[in-house]
Amino acid sequence: MKKRIVIIGGGFGGIATMYSLKKLMGHTAEVVLIDYRGNTLNKPRLPDVAIRGENIEHARFLMRDAVKKNGYLLIQETVAKIDPKEKKIYLHEGGIENYDYLVLATGVEKHYKGIEGFTDYGYSVCDDIQAPRLWRKLQSFKGGPIFIGSMPYKSGNRVAAPKLLAPCEGPVGEVMFMLKEFITKKGIADSSPITAFSPAKIFFEDVGDYVRQNVGNIMKEEGIGLITEKTVLKVDAENIYFKDGTSYPCALAIILPEYRPYEFLSESGLTDDAGFIPTDEQMRHLDFPEIFAVGDISALSVPKLGHIATLQGNIAAHTIAKDLGKATAIPKFEPAILCIMERANMNATMIYSDVLFKGKMDTTLNGFAAYFMKWGFDFYYNFNRGKMPPAFTEDLLVKYLEKK
Ligand SMILES: Cc1cc2nc3c(=O)[nH]c(=O)nc-3n(C[C@H](O)[C@H](O)[C@H](O)COP(=O)(O)OP(=O)(O)OC[C@H]3O[C@@H](n4cnc5c(N)ncnc54)[C@H](O)[C@@H]3O)c2cc1C
C-alpha cells in the first residue's frame, strides 16, 4: 500500500516540500496538503503592497493550482490537534486524517495582540490583511515621526540554532527604504523622520560587519535614524512606548510582531520549551521519527526566512524519500541569509551572508541588478505556483558574489 505523507501548511516551506516530493516520489506515495487558506502568500512581495499600493493578488496564488499541478490532494481545513502516537491529525471541523509521515510547515502566528494599542494605532506588513491596511493608512498620512522595527524572538533550548533577538530584520530594512521614497514623493520627508528600532543590541545582528556597514551607510545617506535594545510596550495616537521606560512622539508605528508558535502544536506535545519544533538537520523531529518540520515553525530556522524554509523543505522531502527506499543523497543543511530590500528608483540591496552559520560569505549587491532579481524571483515563483527557480541560478549567483 502507498505510504501517506501529509504536509500541514502551504507556504514557502510546505509548497517546496511538495514539489520536491513530486520530483523524488511521483505518485509512488500519496501526498496530501492541508491548509486553511485558499492561497499561498508570497510575503517578500508584501512591502510593495503596503508602501507602493501594488495589488495584493500579485503577492499570492491559488494553492489548489499548485497542488493540482502535482496531482496531489488539497484539504482546505484548519488542523486543531495532532496525536503523534496514533499518527492522527484532528481537523477543526471534525474530520480525522491519518499519516505515515507528517511535515509541519505551519509558519508562525504573528502576535499583533501582544502589543497594547496595536489594533487602533499600530501597523504592519506581515500578511495580506496588514499590508493593504498600511497602504490605506498612508493615503491619509499627513506626516510626523515614523518608527519601524520588530518584536523580540524567543527561542528554545533543544537545538543549536543561532540565538537571535530579532527573528528577521530584512523586512524592517526594506520598509524603511521604501517609506523614505514614499514620503519624499509626497513632499513630507522633512516633517517625517524615520527611526528604525531593534530589540537586539545590534541592528541586522544576523549578518556580518561588511553587510551591516553597507546597510548602515545607506541609512545614513537616507537620513534614517536607529535605536537599539528597544522592545515596544504600547502605541497610542501620539507616542510609541518601549519597555525600558522611554517613549517618543510617533505618528506612524510599523511593527513586525512577535513570531509566536501555534498553541495546538505544544498542546499536541510536539514542541520545545519555546513552542517551536525541535528537529535534527534532516528536519526529523527529535522525538517522533515520522514527523518533520520546515520553515518558520522549525526551531532550526533562525532567522525566519523563506530561503531557509525552502531549503528545509527540500531536505525533509529527500529524507522521507530515502526512508521509503529511494536511492537519493540527502542535501546538507547549509543555510544562508538571502534577502532583497527594494529602495527608490528601481534600486535594491541584496544581502547574501552565511557568517552566522560559520561560512565566509558576507556581501551585498546594490542597484538595478538586485531589483531585477527580486522582480524576477517573484514573477517566477508566482507564475510557477510556488516552484523555486532551478538550483543552478543560486549557484551562479554565489559564484558571481564570491568573485565580486
Ligand atoms: C514582509 C516580509 C518580507 C519577507 N522577505 C523575505 C525575503 O526577502 N527573503 C526571505 O528569505 N524571507 C523573507 N520573509 C520571510 C518569509 O516570508 C517566511 O520565512 C516564510 O514565509 C516562512 O514560510 P513557512 O512555510 O514556514 O510559513 P508560511 O509561509 O507562513 O506558511 C504557513 C502556512 O501554514 C498554514 N497554517 C498555519 N496553521 C495552520 C493550521 N492549524 N491548519 C492548516 N494550515 C495552517 C497557513 O495558512 C500558511 O499558509 C519575509 C517575511 C515578511 C513578513
pLDDT at residue 168, as a whole number:
85
> Which residues, in sequence order, are CB contacts of 382 under 8 Å at separation 6+?
42, 58, 60, 61
Q: Residue 234: inside a domain, yes or no?
A: no
Ligand 1 pocket test, pick from 6, 35, 150, 211 with the greatest ligand atom count within 8 Å of Cβ, gives 35
Q: Residue 255: inside a domain, yes or no?
A: no
Q: Residue 310: inside a domain, yes or no?
A: yes
Q: Residue 101: inside a domain, yes or no?
A: yes
Please tell me if the CB atom of residue 105 comes closer than 6 angstroms to any atom of ligand 1: yes
Q: What is the CATH number of the domain that holds 72?
A: 3.50.50.60
Taking the C-alpha atoms of residue 203 and residue 130, their distance in angstroms, rounded to an integer, is 24
Please give the tally of structural domains in the chain: 1
Please tell me if the CB atom of residue 257 comes closer than 6 angstroms to any atom of ligand 1: no
Q: Residue 97: inside a domain, yes or no?
A: yes
179 CA → ligand 1 middle, Å = 23
Please tell me if the CB atom of residue 132 comes closer than 6 angstroms to any atom of ligand 1: no
308 CA → ligand 1 middle, Å = 11
The pLDDT profile of the chain, 404 residues, written as one tens digit per residue, is: 899 999 999 999 999 999 999 999 999 999 999 999 999 999 999 999 999 999 999 999 999 999 999 999 999 999 999 999 999 999 999 999 999 999 999 999 999 999 999 999 999 999 999 999 999 999 999 999 999 999 999 999 999 999 999 988 999 999 999 999 999 999 999 999 999 999 999 999 999 999 999 999 999 999 999 999 999 999 999 999 999 999 999 999 999 999 999 999 999 999 999 999 999 999 999 999 999 999 999 999 999 999 999 999 999 999 999 999 999 999 999 999 999 999 988 999 999 999 999 999 999 999 999 999 999 999 999 999 999 998 888 888 888 888 87
Taking the C-alpha atoms of residue 290 and residue 91, their distance in angstroms, rounded to an integer, is 19
8 A C-beta contact, residue 340 and residue 348: yes
Range of the domain at 47: 4-108+260-323
8 A C-beta contact, residue 64 and residue 74: yes
10 CA → ligand 1 middle, Å = 9
Ligand 1 atom closest to the Cα of residue 46 is 1
403 CA → ligand 1 middle, Å = 32
pLDDT at residue 398, as a whole number:
86
193 CA → ligand 1 middle, Å = 30
Ligand 1 atom closest to the Cα of residue 63 is 49
pLDDT at residue 25, as a whole number:
96
Ligand 1 atom closest to the Cα of residue 37 is 47
In this structure, the residue with its CA closest to atom 33 of ligand 1 is 9
Please tell me if the CB atom of residue 149 comes closer than 6 angstroms to any atom of ligand 1: no
Please tell me if the CB atom of residue 9 comes closer than 6 angstroms to any atom of ligand 1: yes
44 CA → ligand 1 middle, Å = 9
Please tell me if the CB atom of residue 386 comes closer than 6 angstroms to any atom of ligand 1: no
Ligand 1 atom closest to the Cα of residue 108 is 30
Amino acid identity of 48?
Answer: D
1 CA → ligand 1 middle, Å = 33
> Which residues, in sequence order, are CB contacts of 127 under 8 Å at separation 6+?
41, 43, 46, 110
Angle made by CA atoms 126, 46, 52, in degrees to the nearest 5: 130
Ligand 1 pocket test, pick from 43, 277, 314 with the greatest ligand atom count within 8 Å of Cβ, gives 43
Q: Residue 302: inside a domain, yes or no?
A: yes
Please tell me if the CB atom of residue 34 comes closer than 6 angstroms to any atom of ligand 1: yes
HEC string of the chain equals CCCEEEEECCCHHHHHHHHHHHHHHCCCCEEEEECCCCEEECHHHHHHHHHHCCCHHHHEEEHHHHHHHHCCEEECCCEEEEECCCCEEEECCCCEEECCEEEECCCCEEEHHHCECHHHHEECCCCCCHHHHHHHHHHCCCCCCEEEEECCCCCCCCCCCCCCCCCCCHHHHHHHHHHHHHHHHHCCCCCCCEEEECCCCCCCCCCCHHHHHHHHHHHHHHCCEEECCCCEEEECCCEEEECCCCEEECCEEEEECEEECCHHHHHCCCCCCCCCECECCCCEECCCCCEEECHHHECCCCCCCHHHHHHHHHHHHHHHHHHCCCCCCCCCCCCCEEEEEECCCCCEEEEEECHHHCCCCEEEEEEHHHHHHHHHHHHHHHHCCCCCCCHHHHHHHHHHHHHC
Q: Residue 284: inside a domain, yes or no?
A: yes
Q: Residue 345: inside a domain, yes or no?
A: no
Please tell me if the CB atom of residue 208 comes closer than 6 angstroms to any atom of ligand 1: no
